[in-house]
Structure 1
Amino acid sequence: MMLIDHMENEDSITFRGRRFIAKCIFNVLRIGPIPNHIAFIMDGNRRFAKKRNMAEGVGHEVGFQTLKSMIVFCLELGVKCVTAYAFSIDNFRRKPEEVQKLMDLMMEKMKHLTERESFVHQKQVRIHIAGNLELLNPPLRDAAKRLMEVTAGYSKAVLTICIAYTSSNEIVHAVRESCEEKRNSIEDQTKDVSLDLVDIEKHMYMAIVPDPEIVIRTSGENRLSNFLLWQSCSSQLVSTAALWPEIGFWHLVCAVLDFQRNHIYLGKKKKQI
């Protein structure tokens, strides 16, 4: 059941009924602990389009609408941070025409999100683009920076979109930045020049948000695929057989219920690290 996506296609009474049910369920869930950060590995857009004999690229368009729905659900539930794995550095190995279509789609969506009438402005969601932006073409890189600039003042929630991202690249980047910072201060003999976790973590692409409590992957895969390896050591991992465009309200509810059942155990594990 995807309440937001089908709003215009549903009978208004039916929609209001489903909306009311969703709010009631969220009110019940809020009695227990609510995750502060949920991350999504959005897998299965191409398979979704192929399964329905859709044109190439349509699956990613539907997937963007699904992401909007999941963000709204998370906001209504009280989740403050949402992260979406949109494009891996490894995805650059795909066919050039497919990569270009994805870059064009991301450019289109970033321009749309920058506009004042987009949902990120209505919901006051700060957008953070995480990844090696130097791998993007200049127009897309500029669009990403512009989107981050125009939403920088929002504090209701943070949506992190991982583009040109892998966790191994993030770690290497953070170590290099940390070493450079230490090298610049090496003349000051009063400063400690050794590296520690704090030095590295503050240079991570994901440094502006806390570690995710839940990582959800669609399409039945059970791999992290080089996503948030540093940050997910204490996260609850959820795999669903639904393809990304098929994920909806009940998948989120089940993931949060499972998190609440394991909350004490996960908290103890996190303290041990």
Structure 2
Amino acid sequence: MTFRLFGRSQDELSSAVSVDGEQVRTLFEQSKDNLSIVSSFSLQFLRRHVKGLDVGLLPFLRVFAWLQQILVCILKMGPVPRHVSFIMDGNRRYAKRSNKAVKEGHKAGGATLIDILYLCRTLNISSVSAYAFSIENFNRSPQEVDTLMELLGYYIDQFTERATNIKDNLYGIRLRVVGELSLLNEELLEKIRCAEKLTAEGKEFVLYLALPYTSRNDIAHSMKDTINKCINNNEDITEQALTNNMYFEEYSDKCDLLIRTSGHTRLSDYMLWQVHEGEVVEFVNCLWPDFGFWRLYLIILRWSFYHTLQKVNQLPVPSSIRNPVFPRILKALPIDTLRRSKRVALDSLPAPPLAVSVDR
């Protein structure tokens, strides 16, 4: 993999700064070991907004990279979600805000997903799924649909290249494309089949790209397969049988953390079956291309904190801490501040009313 700093390769850095090329290469090699783990997350804001890169910034980049590595190591000491899913919303608005073509917004969104994968892999998260294309998106203009199909093919090739490159931190990931694949063109289907074949041996980390996908289609597909199998084998149709025939395979029974960007508080017909069991849904008020290390880190930190707190609450309190001081310490902690987010636990919602009266 060509290592990139602020989205630029070594040659691009050499031409972007007015210093000796050999000095740039030396500093670049010194930064590689420290920055490769966190990919291009270091100073992500500057990467997007700084036109020229001064070589004098590289020592500061190493400091930021070390800081991020320390934070990641701290987070790995506690529980992390097993399956994290993303509704990648806001690419078109990002392009409009930046006065760029819609295609550029989707390209920025694809680059963000790659950045996110590096962090999730480093945190030992087992599976990541991303809502790449809805069946409803076929209602968009033919030009935009063709552009999206082209970009999806490009990024599938990118994932495959990184997953099969032993020097890349994404080496060994398994790629699975799930959804109503019969709606895709043959060229894209061939790329998908090739990518899944080349990455089939990956066991520790799975990336699910949902395209073209809706949860209604997922449930209908599962019901059809379950009915056929149960009739042929003379078995009962059970909830577990439906779960086993979902697109997401072994991760169909649970999605630990679902994150949607752009500020919209809806699921858009995505993973409705998988988030039924008290999973955490986070609605983030930023566009997907702007979503980066710090936002994801804080979300997972909150998830880990409350997951640990739930386990502690289920345990008996040791006699050694049954004293008046301990409750005072708990009250002094800024727990209420941490709770002030748009985080929603589905099992905390009240039951729906049995009847609703409407006054016309």
The structure with the larger Rg is: 2
Residues 36-80 of structure 1 show CA distances to partners (whole Å, capped at 9, x for unaligned) of: 111110000010011000122101111111001111111112212
Q: CA deviation at 1:14?
A: 2.6
- Distance in 1 separating the partners of 2:306 and 2:281: 12
For 2:71, which of 12, 25, 37 is the aligned residue?
A: 25
> In the alignment, which residue of structure 1 is the partner of 2:11?
none
Q: CA RMSD in A?
A: 2.5
For 1:73, which of 119, 135, 140 is the aligned residue?
A: 119
For 1:243, which of 279, 287, 301 is the aligned residue?
A: 287
Question: For 1:220, what is the secondary structure of its paired residue?
Answer: coil
Q: CA deviation at 1:118?
A: 9.1
- Distance in 1 separating the partners of 2:167 and 2:289: 19
- Distance in 2 separating the partners of 1:95 and 1:119: 40
For 1:173, which of 206, 221, 230 is the aligned residue?
A: 221
- TM (normalized to structure 2)? 0.68
Equivalent pair of 1:131/1:170 in contact (CA under 8 Å): yes
> In the alignment, which residue of structure 1 is the partner of 2:251?
209
Which deviates the most, 78-87 or 13-22? 13-22
- Distance in 2 separating the partners of 1:261 and 1:112: 34
Shift of the 254–106 alpha-carbon distance from structure 1 to 2, 3 Å rule, reads: same
Aligned residues: 264
For 1:1-273, list aligned pairs within 5 A.
4-5=39-40, 11-115=57-161, 116-117=164-165, 122-186=170-234, 193-209=235-251, 211-233=254-276, 234-263=278-307
Q: CA deviation at 1:156?
A: 2.7
Q: CA deviation at 1:31?
A: 2.6
> In the alignment, which residue of structure 2 is the partner of 1:189?
none
Letter matched to residue 45 of structure 1: N
Equivalent pair of 2:89/2:260 in contact (CA under 8 Å): yes
- Distance in 1 separating the partners of 2:226 and 2:99: 48
- Distance in 2 separating the partners of 1:137 and 1:184: 32
Shift of the 250–76 alpha-carbon distance from structure 1 to 2, 3 Å rule, reads: same
Shift of the 164–71 alpha-carbon distance from structure 1 to 2, 3 Å rule, reads: same
Which deviates the most, 36-45 or 193-202? 193-202
Letter matched to residue 241 of structure 1: N
Residues 104-133 of structure 1 show CA distances to partners (whole Å, capped at 9, x for unaligned) of: 111122233333449878431111111111
Equivalent pair of 1:113/1:119 in contact (CA under 8 Å): no
Question: For 2:102, what is the secondary structure of its paired residue?
Answer: coil
- Distance in 2 separating the partners of 1:121 and 1:24: 18
Structure whose residues are more often strand by fraction: 1
Unaligned runs of 5+ in 1: 187-192
Unaligned runs of 5+ in 2: 1-5, 7-37, 48-52, 315-344, 348-360
- Distance in 2 separating the partners of 1:270 and 1:62: 31
Equivalent pair of 1:218/1:242 in contact (CA under 8 Å): yes
Residues 142-170 of structure 1 show CA distances to partners (whole Å, capped at 9, x for unaligned) of: 21122111101012311111111011100
Shift of the 78–112 alpha-carbon distance from structure 1 to 2, 3 Å rule, reads: closer
- TM (normalized to structure 1)? 0.88
- Distance in 2 separating the partners of 1:12 and 1:126: 33
Shift of the 103–224 alpha-carbon distance from structure 1 to 2, 3 Å rule, reads: same
Residues 246-269 of structure 1 show CA distances to partners (whole Å, capped at 9, x for unaligned) of: 001111111112212321677899
Residues 62-102 of structure 1 show CA distances to partners (whole Å, capped at 9, x for unaligned) of: 11110011111111122121111100111111111110110
Shift of the 223–92 alpha-carbon distance from structure 1 to 2, 3 Å rule, reads: same
> In the alignment, which residue of structure 1 is the partner of 2:26?
none
- Distance in 1 separating the partners of 2:108 and 2:289: 6
